[in-house]
Structure 1
Amino acid sequence: MEERELELFIMNDPKSVISEAFRVLRTNLQFSSIDKPVKKVVVTSSMPQEGKSTVAANLAVSIASTRSKVLLVDADLRRPKLYKLFRLENYKGLSNFLAEDLPLESVITKMANLHIITSGPIPPNPAEILGSSKMKKFLDEMATKYDMILLDAPPVNSVADAAILSTLVDGVILVVETGVTAREAAIAAKQQLEKVNAKILGVVLNKIKQDKNGGYYYYYYYYGEEGTKKRKKKR
């Protein structure tokens, strides 16, 4: 992924069309469930370098801007990127907290309504750590303290981590890069999530190319309950 794609659009250019797209995405997410509030969400992709970390970070900043208390967790314990986006140290984080019993406060970076936990050092057994009872207990406890918890997870088709995490949360957002991700890869990712009964809240189609009229669609996405699609485009 190019460095320019690893960008906090909401912070750096809040009036841009991309920032507006994230605000619409935020609204769709907040109203994605009628019966039960969605508080714990995994953001993943079918393959590497589709922009999942950028989506997770900008969505977190957008939600926090509404005065909601947000926890953003880098649960990609293989190729973490959130610390780069926010220009944070990463010598300790989620992996330390789960494996070494570090106090939770020691791994949280607080930025107004947005709190961030970086990945920490890459462990030898990411899937086992993420699927541990301590991880489940951590998420359940955080759900009582935050309005929204977003977890940036590894790609579904690469490793089992995202599928494991999806069993611990309220839903999953799947990021797909337009024109790059093969249809088969996206379908395989969906099937992998469905095998563990994950609730797919929606799909973000990222990096839409210029249309024939000269416009540029940055993001295209849909949310809906059980097969009901709601399509949105942002120029």
Structure 2
Amino acid sequence: MLSRSNKKSKKNNNSKRQLITHTEPKSPISEQYRTIRTNLSYSSVDKKMQVILITSADPSAGKSTTAANIAVAYSQSGNRTLLIDGDMRKPTVHHTFELPNQQGLSNAIVNDEMSVYSMIHESMIPSLYVLTAGPVPPNPSELIASQKMEHMIEEFRTEFDTIIIDTPPVLAVTDATVFSNYTDGTLMVINAQDNNRNSINKAKNNLEKANANILGIIMNNVKNKASDDYYYYKYYG
């Protein structure tokens, strides 16, 4: 069993590794995230990509790490950025940013007396704000489909330049497809080492049935031919 100090050290190391755009801004992986940010900025001529949903077909694709680093990349460009942990079933964003999660998105939706802005945290990164998921509710899909959720997203549009929403995998639950109704575009993250074409196609079809604007896919865990680096990200629009 790890001692308390070792547990804390391991947690800090994991956070640093996950937020590579912050800890190693000159690394090739960080540059890939900035490229994704640039591609998203130019993905639509007529409509600004302000609210972006990030999901995956299956679990363990790296979507939460991707969402966090894309949010960091936007904040580094001077954008006032909000990262929302929309995965109220298995939230992880509070671990990545080492934030409390006693109050968050689930509280803001069900409690009209609490201001959502009192639950938004300033992160250690300038211009990056985080809304954690909050306590796990019994009915996440119903909360996401509520008018309160829709109104919050519209209000966030007036307060932030960019909003990144991390959601559960498409094939696991309906949360991502419901969230897609409030967003300008959707990115799907895929683990290249576990590339299941049937799952990817099914997830894509589910998103299209919900009229999601699929901007592209991000392949992670792709081996970089120039090294043994397996944490190389590629974006395909």
User: 1:214 and 1:14, CA in 2 relative to 1: closer, same or farther beyond 3 A?
Assistant: closer
Deviation sequence 1:30-53 (CA, Å, 0-9, x none): 111100111111100000111000
Deviation sequence 1:52-83 (CA, Å, 0-9, x none): 00000000011001111111100000011100
The root-mean-square deviation of aligned C-alpha atoms, in Å, is 1.7
Q: Report the 3-state secondary structure (helix = DSSP H, G, I; strand = E; otherwise coil) of the residue aligned with 2:67.
A: helix
Query: Superposition pairs for residues 182-201 of structure 1, below 5 Å?
Result: 182-201=196-215
Which runs of 4 or more aligned residues in structure 1 lie more than 4 Å from their structure 2 counterparts after TM superposition? 2-6, 213-217
Q: CA separation in 2, counterparts of 1:115 and 1:23?
A: 18
Query: Superposition pairs for residues 203-218 of structure 1, below 5 Å?
Result: 203-211=217-225, 214=227, 216=229, 218=232
Task: Show the counterpart of 1:220.
Answer: 234
Task: Show the counterpart of 1:56.
Answer: 67
Task: Show the counterpart of 2:3.
Answer: none
TM-superposed CA distance for 1:215, in Å, is 6.0
Q: Report the 3-state secondary structure (helix = DSSP H, G, I; strand = E; otherwise coil) of the residue aligned with 1:207.
A: strand
Specify the code of the residue in structure 1 equivalent to 2:94.
Y
Task: Show the counterpart of 1:157.
Answer: 171
Pick one of 115, 132, 135 that aligns with 1:103.
115
Q: Report the 3-state secondary structure (helix = DSSP H, G, I; strand = E; otherwise coil) of the residue aligned with 2:186.
A: strand
The answer as to whether partners of 1:171 and 1:200 remain within 8 angstroms in 2 is yes
Q: CA separation in 2, counterparts of 1:109 and 1:214?
A: 37
Task: Show the counterpart of 2:89.
Answer: 78
Q: CA separation in 1, counterparts of 2:227 and 2:163?
A: 37
The answer as to whether partners of 1:47 and 1:181 remain within 8 angstroms in 2 is no
Q: Report the 3-state secondary structure (helix = DSSP H, G, I; strand = E; otherwise coil) of the residue aligned with 2:193.
A: coil
* Identical amino acids, percent of aligned pairs: 40
Q: CA separation in 2, counterparts of 1:197 and 1:190?
A: 11
Specify the code of the residue in structure 2 equivalent to 1:103.
S
When structure 1 is superposed on structure 2, of 140-149 and 156-165 the one drifting more is 140-149
TM-score normalised per structure 2: 0.89
The answer as to whether partners of 1:156 and 1:192 remain within 8 angstroms in 2 is yes
Specify the code of the residue in structure 2 equivalent to 1:194.
E
Q: CA separation in 2, counterparts of 1:67 and 1:18?
A: 20
Deviation sequence 1:151-203 (CA, Å, 0-9, x none): 00000000000000001111101000002131111111100000111100110
Structure with more helix by fraction: 2
User: 1:191 and 1:80, CA in 2 relative to 1: closer, same or farther beyond 3 A?
Assistant: same
Deviation sequence 1:99-140 (CA, Å, 0-9, x none): 122212221002331111000000000000011101001101
Q: Report the 3-state secondary structure (helix = DSSP H, G, I; strand = E; otherwise coil) of the residue aligned with 1:41.
A: strand
Aligned length: 221
